[in-house]
Amino acid sequence: MENPQHELIQSNYGLPFKSFTFRGIDSDKKIPLHWHNHIELLFCLEGSLSVVVSGQTFLLHENDMILINTNTIHASFSPTVNHVLCIQFPLEWLCTQIGQGYGQKWLIKLNSSNEITGYDQPLIDKLLKITAVTERQNHNVMEKLELHGQIFLLLKMLMSYTIPVTKNTTEDPAFLFGTEMVSYINAHFQNKLSLQDISRHFGYSSEYCSRNFKKVLGINFKELLTSTRLNYAYDKIINSNDNLEEIALAAGFNTYRNMYNSFVKSYHTAPSQLREKKKFE
């Protein structure tokens, strides 16, 4: 895994969703495999972006978009210099807006890179408007309301891309395996956890789990567990004043040195250096 060399423009503004843009300054830099309980929409404004979703790779070009449903393992890298809009909808908030059926009765299927989604100029125009509001330097009350309003209109448009969750989907062995593994690791990564533990919990053999992790999720058990712990540690390092050794133990690492080595390998910087850098941003 490599540290994403991107210029991030965060856009929280006290709103219940995240909207930000990033520019891939250096090509071939990756945002490593990860997941979260947000629904994420990526819209390529310039250049190209390669997105890996559940082991499949999709190449976005200018005006292409892809929506990644909740708890889906994904990654991205920039094959060229690019400019990308990212919108993340927290699952709990989204369900209060569009109903509790998401993920159980229906999903959103939006991917213009492989012709699943046809050319949709109104949707492109909406995303360009959201980009313009997101990248403004000063956000007063009126602009926050405008961004909020544009996001609600976007949600209305996204509802036309819903598909039913069928029995075949929910009973597909790969779907069930991936959902089980991601959910269990997300809930237990702070504890001591082994492939044998998770295999025993679900009644699978260790060989079955090992074989299907890479096949279904595109990543092995150890990589997924380490990535999950690093994501937790990264958030704590930049958003809390907790001691770094305490963060390492809370994230599930045996020692700070274990976290340090994994952190430097993934992000090419030490935890203390990252914290210091974020103080001045």
Q: How far is CA 191 from the centre of its chain?
A: 23
Residue 119, classified by CB atoms within 10 Å of its CB into exposed (0-12), middle (13-18) or buried (19+), is exposed
Q: What percent of the chain has pLDDT over 70?
A: 82
**Mean predicted confidence (pLDDT) in 128-153:** 88
Residue 167 confidence (pLDDT): 55
- In our burial notation (b when 16+ CB lie closer than 10 A, e otherwise), range 149-162 reads ebbeebeeebeebb
Residue 278 confidence (pLDDT): 74
- Tell me the pLDDT of the chain averaged across its residues: 83
Integer Cα distance of 200 and 194 in angstroms: 10
In the chain, domain spans: 6-164, 169-279
Tens digit of each residue's pLDDT (9 = 90 or more) over 145-202:
899 999 999 999 999 999 887 655 554 566 667 777 877 888 899 999 999 999 999 8
Residue 280 confidence (pLDDT): 65
Tens digit of each residue's pLDDT (9 = 90 or more) over 234-272:
888 988 899 999 999 999 999 999 999 999 988 888 999
For domain 169-279, which architecture applies? Orthogonal Bundle (1.10)
Residue 154 confidence (pLDDT): 96
Q: How many helices (H) and strands (E) are present in the chain, helices listed first?
A: 11, 11
Dihedral sign (CA 43, 126, 159, 14): positive
Integer Cα distance of 83 and 162 in angstroms: 27
Residue 9 confidence (pLDDT): 32
The pLDDT of residue 1 is above 50: no
Tens digit of each residue's pLDDT (9 = 90 or more) over 19-54:
988 887 654 456 766 667 789 999 999 999 999 887
Of 10-24, 86-100, 221-235, minimum mean pLDDT range: 10-24
CATH topology of domain 6-164: Jelly Rolls (2.60.120)
Residue 16, classified by CB atoms within 10 Å of its CB into exposed (0-12), middle (13-18) or buried (19+), is middle
Residue 279 confidence (pLDDT): 74
Residue 239 confidence (pLDDT): 83
Name the phi and psi angles at 22, rounded to 5.
-140, 155
